[in-house]
Amino acid sequence: MFSGANPRLSAQARQARVDTGFSTFGLSRANSDLAYTAGQTTADLYRVIGGARGTVALGGRIYDFEVSVNYGRSDVVDRFQDINQQNFINAVNGCSTTVTVFGTGGVPVADPACAPLSLFGSGVASPQALAYVLQNNVTRSRLEQFVANANVGGSPFELFGNPVAFNLGFEHHEEKGRFTPDPFIQAGLGRSGMVTPTSGAYHMNEEFAEVLVPFVTPQNGAVISKLEAFGRFRNVDNSTNGSFQSWAAGGAFAPIRDIEFRGNFTRSFRTPSITELYSARALGFFAVPDLCSPANINAGPAPTVRATNCAAFLAQYPGATPLAAATLGAPGYFGGNPNLRNEVADSFTYGVLLQPSFVPNLSVTVDYINIKIKDPITLLLPTSIASGCFDNVSFNAADPANGNGFCSLIQRDANGQVVYSTTNPGVTAGYVNGKQIRMDAVQAAVNYMTGLERLNLPGNLAVGVDVFHLRNRLNDVTGVAPVQSEGLVGDPKWQGQLRLRYENQTWGIGSNVNYTGAQAVAYTNRGASPSDIREIDHFDPFATVDSSVWFKTDDGFRLTLSVTNVFNRVGQEYNGYIVPASINDALGRRFSLSIGKHF
């Protein structure tokens, strides 16, 4: 908010202020002409792999063993500009200790290095002012991983003349990470709060076993062609969240060589990542939806529940709507959560494999997949927090600002507005264990390879097609507002890939065509509804192309040139601009050259 007497106003602007009778006026701008916010990132990746494999004879049988060690490290340096908040306050107030600009979040202080900053117009700031208000920052992060694995396998005996196979092993896994923000950021001198350095680590020890029992194989000459079963077990001890066991069981049945039915059930888990556990608790700005506004109070997954809870909330805080944080945002904390539990998944799949004997090298597969994930690790953001508060049947009407655990994550002032403070932020967001994710889908694949001798050409031609159809996906973070996401942005119902390959002894070429189906922005208020104010209903289907060509030299080197996103498809345009939510590949077309050799 500027005083109408600001000396940097033009004569026309000052006269307009006099004519309208206002003594102050507001200014809203993005400040994109001040700082280069895109920044620059440098990433260095190091990886060392070593190991040995061999065989050992025991009891007249041969067993295979393998020992490996894998170490990887990534160092990332981010360089970017930020605005020095105190210097900005000094500069926009004309380097005077008298406040002439209100609502900047502070008061000016005397500074002999100050250079006045004008915000009236784009690109009008002087080089001296920019040098004074801008700060170049450097943040550094490192991730390290170490994995050691040892396993042995083989066949100790036969069943009906078929070798029963097993594999036993042990794996040690270590993850480390650290993040060091610039001292400027650590001191909280910019437009966000203080971000402290953080680090974390965990390790896992795993024992695993697998067994494959072939009851019938084609070599047996039995009535059926194939019948086999398998089992897998893994015990994991994690230094962060304890021990867990995963397992799988399944099998395959082929009445004839051309047709095979298969299926399995799997209990699996995913441990939280270093980022999810230990990322720094940082300050950001979040929009908090105004669910108790007249436009929203009778909406949501359970309109009656929301209306009842909002009525109790507004009775105590009648000034809570319109909610300023819904349009202006509010400061909030965001970061990792060292108390995260493992994700646990139960999945089963069954399908059929067709390999017609009258078409050699042709295979067709169709599989149904069903997965249920318990305690999925997810980002709990203000939209989900607000819904978990007001759409929840568990709500304390006597204390509506803290009606349940979700409500308490959004602090309110005496008027019911979200607390706006960078030292005591009103919003707490971050990683949590949600309730569940359910999905089921169908995937199919066709693969065919043939030699070209009949055309008097060397080499082989391979064609492959993959199709994935998402039938259903339920994302339930809070337990009160599950979302059906199949077909929405980021979760298309249809995806596919066409692969074409030709190669001979000295060179080869290939292309992948990647298809993504239509994606709706939302399922509510679609069509000609008067309440539908969206300009875009959905994003159109699209395809990208990746291609590569390789050559083998006389001395055994293989050179590969790859082009990713050949036609430079970045996203969907609207009125000449790419819609951010539609971006599928922000990097666009890119090239890579690799050289390899096997010894």
Mind listing the pLDDT tens digit for each residue in 441-489?
Answer: 999 999 999 999 988 899 999 999 999 999 999 999 888 878 899 999 9
**Residue-level pLDDT, tens digit, the chain, 599 residues:** 666 666 667 777 777 767 777 767 677 776 777 877 678 999 999 999 999 999 999 989 999 999 999 999 999 999 999 899 899 989 988 888 777 665 556 788 999 999 998 888 778 889 999 999 999 999 999 999 999 999 999 999 999 999 999 999 999 999 999 999 999 998 888 877 678 898 999 999 999 999 999 999 999 989 999 999 999 999 999 998 889 999 999 999 999 999 999 999 999 999 998 889 988 777 778 899 999 999 999 988 889 999 999 999 999 999 999 999 998 888 888 888 888 999 999 999 999 999 999 999 999 999 999 999 999 999 899 999 999 999 999 999 999 999 998 999 999 999 999 999 878 889 999 998 989 999 999 999 999 999 999 888 999 999 999 999 999 999 998 888 788 999 999 999 999 999 999 999 999 999 999 999 999 988 776 666 555 666 788 899 999 999 999 999 988 899 999 999 999 999 999 888 899 889 999 889 999 999 988 77
Selection from 438, 412, 443, 416 nearest residue 425 by Cα: 412
Helix axis angle, 303-316 to 382-390, nearest 10°: 90
CA pair distance 303, 307, nearest whole angstrom:
6
The DSSP annotation for 257-298 comes to: TTEEEEEEEEEEEEPPPHHHHH---EEEEE----TTSTTTTT
CA pair distance 426, 411, nearest whole angstrom:
5
Residue-wise pLDDT for 293-345, tens only, equals 999 999 888 899 999 999 999 999 999 999 999 988 888 888 888 889 999 99
H-type alpha helices, 317-410: 324-328, 382-390
Selection from 345, 290, 340 nearest residue 319 by Cα: 290
Taking a C-beta distance cutoff of 8 angstroms, is the pair 509, 549 a contact?
A: yes
Neighbour count for residue 558 (Cβ, 10 Å): 15
pTM here is 0.78
